[in-house]
Amino acid sequence: MISDMVSFLRWFDGVNRRAMRDVGTLPAEAETWKPPAAAGGENAWSIGQLVSHMAASRLFFAHAYRLEGWRAEPWPAPTRNREQWITALERSGDRMHALLDGTPDEWLQRRVPGMDDLEQSIAGWRVLMMGMEHDIHHRSQIDTYAGIEGWEVQQIYGRRAEDVGLSPQR
């Protein structure tokens, strides 16, 4: 559970830094890459589309947390290349801070109407965690695509399993 907004935003900043690092180190060919033989919808999204979705979704959850409704709005800026990917994540991070900095810590316990059923509610801190789980899911999706394509995949804390004495069992 999250107990104060300052701590949440400090944690969010780390999540955002890792997302910017991961997309920023992808090779140039990632800018035009799409999943092979995708059926459509999210399954066919390019990395730029995923980054745009991540940036917009952060605000989706922040607005819900503020009791402004579950309103999905597209990310307003282009996300066609690595520079734009980093800019989108950076700006959405700034916008998250603008929406959440200074909100009362009590809001973390405040009930937020459910996304699909307004009669049900969830704690504010859970709304924020849902947003971060969503963000990390898509960052991992991008990292998985990178690994499949043979591109370098950044390690979450800068160490590989082998670096800490672990090796795959055979």
What's the pLDDT tens digit per position in 60-80?
A: 999 999 999 999 999 999 999
Residue 61 lies in a domain: yes
With respect to residue 87, please indicate whether it lies within any of the assigned structural domains: yes
- Residue 112, beta-bridge partner list: 122
Range of the domain at 108: 5-29+51-156
pLDDT at residue 31 in the model: 98
Lowest-pLDDT choice from 23-37, 79-93, 99-113: 23-37
Structural domain contains residue 34: no
**Domain presence at residue 167:** no
Q: Report the CATH number at residue 94.
A: 1.20.120.450
How far is the C-alpha of 96 from the C-alpha of 86, rounded, in Å? 15
Q: What is the pLDDT of residue 1?
A: 66
What is the domain count for the chain? 1
Mean pLDDT over each residue of the chain, to the nearest integer = 93
In-domain check, residue 137: yes
Amino acid 129: pLDDT: 98
- 115-167 pLDDT, tens per residue? 998 789 999 999 999 999 999 999 999 999 999 999 999 887 777 777 777 76
Residues sharing a CB contact under 8 Å with residue 131, sequence separation 6 or more, in sequence order: 57, 58, 60, 61, 62, 65
Does the residue 83 lie in any domain? yes
Does residue 140 sit within a domain? Answer: yes
Residues 6 or more apart whose CB falls under 8 angstroms from that of 107 comprise 5, 65, 66, 124
Q: Is residue 75 situated within a structural domain?
A: yes
